[in-house]
Amino acid sequence: MRLKLVAGNWKMHGGIERNRDLLSIVISGTAGLQKTACAVCVPYPYLSQVQSLLKNTHVSWGAQNISQHDMGAYTGEVSADMLTDFCCYYVIVGHSERRTLYGENSRTVSLKFKVAQDAGLVPILCVGETLEQREAGFTEQVVREQLDAVIGLVGVDALARSVLAYEPIWAIGTGKTATPQQAQDVHVFIRNIVASYNVKVAAELRILYGGSVKASNAAELFAMLDIDGGLIGGASLVAEEFISICLAAQN
Ligand code: PGA
């Protein structure tokens, strides 16, 4: 039985006061969750604040990116050790916005996955195709390439200490959600790839869906057998929406 996870991806949103208000409502609104884990991945400058607001609560926290390097002359970058200094539990790697806007390729993403894990962080590895790739029938090929790069570097057993997120790029921030069946099909495809190496790791791997998940569509997505929760962008910034999504995962 896989424990569901709902993780907020705040992207480049937030503010000291806003974070405080949002998190205090989220903490109390999700206090009754038992079969669902809840987390927020926040911009770097707020890690300290979020750590102090969330420590000793049931909500975990993490970052949205990590450097593949340990330390050194990498202006603007943040290392794994810096994230563990703020007791991050998760870090998102390979989000499509990093891949498309900042030129991260599958090799870079797998290096980031590795440094995160080596530091004890749990990477949330994002994979997913563009609209053109889907329409051309390349969804499986794209997802396989993104996943194989990571498995090739760290080995399939390392996936046991990670979370996957299938995020079709055409559904991110567009209001267009994959249908539950479209998402389920790709989740099964991902799980089968992992199972071809290690059945146990595949059975226990949490695969989240991300892309315009809202309170109104979360329940039908989470009802699918291989959808183990969600990576939530826009809706994670609205306390009531985020709480409803967490509750939908619980049911
Ligand atoms: P969205 O973003 O929920 O706003 O579509 C999801 C994501 O990018 O992780």
Region at 87 (left for phi over 0; alpha for psi -120 to 50; beta for the rest): left
* 233 C-beta closer than 6 A to ligand 1: yes
List, for residues 160-202, the tens digit of each pLDDT value: 999 999 999 999 888 888 899 999 999 999 999 999 999 999 9
Mutational test site, ligand 1, from 172, 236, 245, max ligand atoms within 8 Å of CB: 172
SS3 of residue 7 by DSSP: strand
Closest approach atom of ligand 1 to CA 210: 6
List, for residues 48-64, the tens digit of each pLDDT value: 999 999 999 999 999 99
Closest approach atom of ligand 1 to CA 173: 5
* 234 C-beta closer than 6 A to ligand 1: yes
**Residue written as token pair 């604040």:** 49
* 176 C-beta closer than 6 A to ligand 1: no
The answer to whether 95 is a known catalytic residue is: yes
Residue 104 pLDDT greater than 90, yes or no: yes
The answer to whether 77 is a known catalytic residue is: no
User: pTM of this prediction?
Assistant: 0.97
Catalogue all structural domains in the chain, each as residue range(s) with its CATH number: 4-250 (3.20.20.70)
| Beta pairing partners, 92 | 124
